[in-house]
Amino acid sequence: MGRRSYGQYCALAKTLDLVGERWTLLIVRDLALGPKRYADLLEGLPGIGTSLLATRLKHLEAVGIAARSRLPPPAASTVYTLTTDGVALVHALVPLVAWGAPRLLGRRRRGETFRAEWPLLVLAAGVDREAAARVRDVYEFELDGSFAHLRVDNHDVAVVPGPADRPDVTVRIDVPDFVAIGSGELRIADALADGRLHLDGDPGAIERFFRVFRLGAMIDNG
Amino acid sequence: MGRRSYGQYCALAKTLDLVGERWTLLIVRDLALGPKRYADLLEGLPGIGTSLLATRLKHLEAVGIAARSRLPPPAASTVYTLTTDGVALVHALVPLVAWGAPRLLGRRRRGETFRAEWPLLVLAAGVDREAAARVRDVYEFELDGSFAHLRVDNHDVAVVPGPADRPDVTVRIDVPDFVAIGSGELRIADALADGRLHLDGDPGAIERFFRVFRLGAMIDNG
DNA sequence: CCGGATCCGTAACGATACTG
DNA sequence: CAGTATCGTTACGGATCCGG
């Protein structure tokens, strides 16, 4: 019949009633990267059953986390997006990610899928919108051989899969080192010095990059 | 065989591999209230199967989130506690709770279990340890008719179920109003003015309460 | 009585096939 | 492309049983 519920008057239990089932939060993560078609989601979530994805999407739409839009011709396809509540939910996941990353991520194992845009979501969530005013830059990342970029456009940030066209800054680093910087175990200055982090671009753009994503504190103190 | 995994090199997916299964995070929540016996946990999680609880506890212990201690006689029983990683995980859940509370909690429905200590965990997580130095107070809460209290003792806070012995401050409020204050929709000053919030105790203790739990901003601006 | 383990029916999930 | 239908497998829920 109905959905399984914990039956508790507790915000955590209610939240888990809503989004605690298998795959739900990973769907939300992928929608955080922008509008996705059903097939895009399926491809990014290997192992999910097609019918389960349909069920989850219907539920996310019903509870106001996702929305389904029908693009006009010639695109003529359905896409799913996050509502503002959905975007807020993504922000609420960042501390959970910050908890798990240094403890669980380790080195990549054979068979594990990876997309450079996943780690970038954390950066994008930490954007300083004031500092991003009138900034119009593209920062490209190569993480473990996979490319994605951040597009900053006057207060707004988008995470985009794949290499950038003509990036203002390019960043190359391993995921474990990226995580170590994020958790304060590794200073950016040290990572640059021993070649674990490569940063290219004009100094002005690099300085904007640090400012917009609040990385100042990570440069030389933990 | 083994546990089900998403097989993704992503901190969110790894975190959910670890603690995303049914009941796991609610067990963590209850352990955040202090050492619990197996039977205590069973009672606080109506609907969980006894064998599932045992499985979850074994897993939480194996991954370093919980620990099992054997109390010496005459208490002679086993208790489960959180490790420091487990406590960190509880802190990482607070934004998720802050997301869900104003959106999902609503009014309490028939049959929903409730414990006043659950909302207090959020307050306790937000303690200002500096401000709590040399403070030694007990703040009692009556939320929807259920009692619990916060025990501040020189930098440390504990959430304790039930009424307090001789509280320095007593607080009485409905859960929806408590949530509205936490989310900034309701100002403490307004809630006091129209009788939705009752605060008793000597002015010095009340002022320490506000300071220790960083409630200053909620008094008269959102 | 506490701390589980065992067993079994039901619900959720995963994989594949199929359809508008 | 965007799903639905079906079916085998796994996970969960409830009850009972068992050892210290």
Q: Is the pTM of this model over 0.85?
A: yes
B6 nearest nt, CA–C1'? C14
Structure tokens at A40: 């895009």
Compute the distance between CA of residue A216 and CA of residue A193 in angstroms, rounded to an integer.
Answer: 17
Chain B residues touching A85 at Cβ < 8 A: 103
Under 8 Å CB-to-CB from B55, ≥6 apart: which residues?
none
For chain A, what is the mean pLDDT? Answer: 96
* Facing residue for A99 by CB, picked from B9, B92, B104: B92
pLDDT at B222 over 60: no
* Class of domain B11-104 as given by CATH: mainly alpha
On strand C, nucleotides with any atom < 7 Å from a protein CB are 1-7, 11-17
Encoded tokens for B94: 């607070």
How many residues does this entry show for chain B? Answer: 222
pLDDT at B101 > cutoff 70: yes
Q: How far is the CA of B10 from the C1' of D9 (A)?
A: 27
Q: What is the 3-state secondary structure (H, E, C) of B153-213?
A: ECCEEEEEECCCCCCCEEEEECHHHHHHHHCCCCCHHHHHHCCCEEEEECHHHHHHHHHHC
C-alpha distance from residue A70 to each of A28, A40, A81 (Å): 19, 15, 11
Nearest chain A alpha carbon to B14: A104
Distance (Å, rounded) from C-alpha B10 to C-alpha A107? 11
**B24-57 pLDDT per residue, tens:** 999 999 999 999 999 999 999 999 999 999 999 9
Q: What is the structure's pLDDT at A221?
A: 62
- Closest chain A residue to B120 measured between Cα atoms? A10
pLDDT of residue A15: 98
Percent of chain B whose predicted confidence (pLDDT) is above 70 = 96
* Residues above pLDDT 90, as percent of chain A: 94
Cα distances (angstroms) measured from residue B20 to each of A42, A102, A185, A221, B15: 20, 18, 26, 33, 7
Average pLDDT across each block of 10 residues of chain A; the chain has 222 residues. List them in order: 88 98 98 97 97 98 96 81 98 98 97 97 98 98 97 97 97 98 97 97 97 94 54
Residue whose C-alpha is closest to residue B105's, from A93, A86, A16, A61: A16
Q: Which part of chain B is CATH 1.10.10.10? A: 11-104
pLDDT at position B77: 85
The answer to whether the Cα torsion of B114, B62, A176, B12 is positive or negative is negative
Q: Start-end ranges of CATH 3.30.1050.10 in chain A?
A: 117-220
| CB < 8 Å to B2, chain A | none
Cross-chain residue pair B15–A104, CB shorter than 8 Å? yes
Q: Is pLDDT above 80 for B104? A: yes
State pLDDT tens for residues B4-30: 999 999 999 999 999 999 999 999 999
- Which CATH superfamily, name and number, covers A117-220? SCP2 sterol-binding domain (3.30.1050.10)
CA torsion B128-B132-B133-B139 (nearest 10°) is -170
A96 to B100: CB separation less than 8 angstroms, yes or no: no
